Amino acid sequence: MIIFIYGTTAEAIKVAPIMRRLAARGVPYEQWVTLQHTDALRRAIPELGLNPPDRVIANGSKGRPLKTPLQMVGWMLDVGKWTLRNVRRIRRTLPADSLVVVHGDTVTTVLGTVIGRLLGVPVAHVEAGLRSGDWRHPFPEELDRRIVGRLAQIHYAPSPEAAQNLAGRRGVVLTHGNTAKDGVRDSRGDGTGGGDAYGLVLLHRFEFISNTTLVRATLQTLDRRSAVPLRLIVDSYSRDAIEQSITSLGLTRLEVTAKLEHSAFVEVLRGAEFIVTDSGGIQEEAAVVGVPTLVHRKVSERHDGFGTSAVLSGWDQHVLERFLDDPDKYRVSNADAGASPSDIIVDDLVARGYARPTR
């Protein structure tokens, strides 16, 4: 039995292509969710063509989104209590060829890996081996991925650099990209995004949102320098900090909108004049379609788009300004997406005996 343990919308988007390909081959699997994201994840699951979760491990902060460190601690305690109550019983009923699959670098990634180890089954880590080289950036993601790198048995590395970071470990498989690529390619649409020209902004990481000075400087630069209006997509965690800064600074060119269903978001991404983001997943998706992208982070563990469609800001406002002055020089036509990472993962699961296709 293949068990996917995930808890955020980004994780759902990136494991969904694997699950869809397993389903197409008649391979059963289960979904266990921690609801680290609550409402957004509940909406995303059916929108991605997935069945309802088989097990709900936790439910945010009493069913509401996690917005504070204290709520995060309470949610982690809920995951721990569920584990203590259920793992021993579930372990007795699992088939011998079971496997837990986790993705990326969230707190759920770590907790799912621990649950897999307590169940006594191997853990496969999708998007393994990414390293920034600095545990402080991004925080806590860099710590999360290092912990999982030590505990997992199978490592699906998206790049040669990621695979090299796992040198010496067994079970390393190069997937030639992240499954986010398949999420974009599986989506349908004309790529216009609709309406007039716009720039797309997605900034949500803890290390950015918690830095009030950086948030204000970035929003001011965007509002002042962009040649087109800006669509700023926020999640429940980042919304308050972003909206408060926009209001207090009197900015007028940033339209704040809630997160979109994934296929609709892909169309907005494809139609953007440029993208400013601190999301590694968005960086990967934008590189597939060649949209000019500024990665607004101190450092990045990903290489997608750099040297072609993407540039790293290092949180330098001057780099952001230069990008906004002429983003089109980073546009890439007919970007080559290459192999399907999800197909590579499914083929490997079949070869290892964890997936047995029936069609």
pLDDT of residue 194: 59
Residues 162 and 201 in one domain: no
Number of domains in the chain: 2
pLDDT of residue 188: 64
- Interval 273-302 mean pLDDT: 92
Instruction: Assess whether pLDDT exceeds 80 at residue 165.
Output: yes
Residues 24 and 61 in one domain: yes
Whether residue 307 lies inside any domain: the answer is yes
CATH code of 42's domain: 3.40.50.2000
Residues 146 and 254 in one domain: no
Whether residue 232 lies inside any domain: the answer is yes
Residues 94 and 171 in one domain: yes
Residues 144 and 97 in one domain: yes
pLDDT of residue 16: 96
Instruction: Assess whether pLDDT exceeds 90 at residue 123.
Output: yes
Domain of residue 199, residue span: 189-330
Query: 3-state SS string over the chain?
Result: CEEEEECCHHHHHHHHHHHHHHHHCCCCEEEEECCCCCHHHHHHHHHCCCCCCCEECCCCECCECCCCHHHHHHHHHHHHHHHHHHHHHHHHHCCCCCEEEEECCCHHHHHHHHHHHHHCCCEEEECCCCCCCCCCCCCCHHHHHHHHHHHCCEEEECCHHHHHHCCCCCCEEECCCCCHHHHHHHCCCCCCCCCCCCEEEECCCHHHHCCHHHHHHHHHHHHHHCCCCEEEEECCCCHHHHHHHHHHHCCCCEEEEECCCHHHHHHHHHHCCEEEECCHHHHHHHHHHCCCEEECCCCCCCCCCECCCEEECCCCHHHHHHHHHCHHHHCCCCCCCCCCHHHHHHHHHHHHCCCCCCC
Q: Of residues 27 and 262, which shows the higher confidence score?
A: 27
Instruction: Assess whether pLDDT exceeds 60 at residue 193.
Output: no
Residues 137 and 201 in one domain: no
Residues 135 and 226 in one domain: no
pLDDT in tens, 38-77: 988 999 999 999 999 999 999 999 898 888 889 999 999 9
Residues 323 and 345 in one domain: no
Whether residue 36 lies inside any domain: the answer is yes
- pTM of the entire structure? 0.80
Residues 140 and 270 in one domain: no
Residue 338 confidence class, pLDDT cut points 50, 70, 90: confident
Residues 132 and 268 in one domain: no
pLDDT of residue 65: 86
pLDDT in tens, 179-192: 988 988 888 655 55
Whether residue 32 lies inside any domain: the answer is yes
